[in-house]
Amino acid sequence: MNARRHPDLLDDGTAAPVVAIAPEVALLQGFVATAPLLAEIEAIAAAAPFRRLETPGGGRMSVAMTNAGRYGWHSDRHGYRYLECDPESGRPWPAMPEMFAALARRAATRAGFPGFAPDCCLVNRYAVGAQMGTHRDFDELDLRHPIVSVSIGLPATFLWYGATRKGPPRRVPVADGDVLVWGGDARAGYHGVRRLAGRGEAQEALRYNLTLRRAR
């Protein structure tokens, strides 16, 4: 049976293959059925629409973002930070769907990080041509908590650089339903996402990524 083509048969993820990308970086292939996650993303975006944020340097990100949970990640000319309210509306971010929190806990446990309780879900939306430059996730209070990252929709290539941004990265294909987990000494590793390939004629030619963190 091809797990990748039948993620619904693996909905508890127990049969999903675990691929070691680097020490304390695990790829859980076909770990989750994504249709219910997409429905939750639509509800989040109805309350807090996707937007392309400004960077401190004055540019604009190609990836569109929104958030759910107690904290939301934000960027503008003043820098990167977590906010309790959506600056577009002044209202709190939409609540973290229970399904997201449960998925994050289950994936983190599978990867060797039990007890993970995220308080932020950053939702990234990539149209064809969008990319995520090399960075590390460093704005959280306690880097002992892992990060759980869920890929939905179009496949992409995740780039893992590790402790320094020098040298060629490890290229990691990530497909719909794959979950990447990292923590421990890898938590501050450099990474990015290659420019999304594809022919962007259809509205569904998108990749979403849920990045579940503990911000505070």
Q: Which 8-state DSSP code applies to residue 4? A: G
By CB under 6 A, is residue 186 in contact with ligand MD6? no
User: How far lies 212's CA from each of 7, 56, 76, 89, 109, in Å?
Assistant: 21, 23, 21, 22, 14
44 binds ligand MD6 (CB under 6 A): no
Closer residue to ligand MD6 (CB): 92 or 170 = 170
If one asks whether residue 215 binds ligand MD6 (CB under 6 A), the answer comes out as no
Residue 149 contact partner, candidates Fe ion, ligand MD6, none, CB within 5 to 8 A by sort of partner? ligand MD6
Query: Does residue 137 belong to the site contacting Fe ion (CB under 5 A)?
Result: yes
Rounded to a whole number of angstroms, the minimum distance from the CB of residue 132 to Fe ion is 7
Size of site (CB under 5 A) for Fe ion: 1
Q: Least distance (Å) from Fe ion to the CB of residue 175? A: 18
- 193 touching ligand MD6, by CB under 6 A: yes
The structure tokens listed for 64 are 């569109």
Binds 209, which of ligand MD6, Fe ion, none (CB < 5 to 8 A, cut-off by type)?
A: ligand MD6
Binding status of residue 121 toward ligand MD6 by CB under 6 A: no
Q: Give the residue from 39, 19, 9, 199 showing the smallest Cα distance to 123.
A: 39
Nearest partner of 100 among 14, 10, 211, judged by Cα? 211
Select 57 or 90, whichever has its Cβ closest to ligand MD6. 57
Q: Does 132 bind ligand MD6 (CB under 6 A)?
A: yes
Q: Residue 152 and residue 214: Cα distance in Å, rounded? A: 21
Phi first, then psi, for residue 5 (nearest 5°) are -90, -10
Q: Distance between CA 89 and CA 143 in Å, rounded?
A: 29
Containing H/E element for 126? Answer: strand 120-127
According to the binding rule CB under 6 A, does residue 149 interact with ligand MD6? yes
Dihedral sign (CA 86, 38, 198, 157): positive
Residue 121 CA to residue 103 CA, distance in Å, equals 12
Considering the rule CB under 6 A, would residue 209 count as an interface residue with ligand MD6?
Answer: yes
Comparing every residue's Cβ against Fe ion, the nearest one is: 137
57 is written with which tokens?
Answer: 């340097």
Is residue 34 within the footprint of ligand MD6 (CB under 6 A)?
no
Q: Using CB under 6 A, which of 10, 154, 180, 206 touches ligand MD6?
A: 180
Interface ranges with Fe ion (CB under 5 A): 137
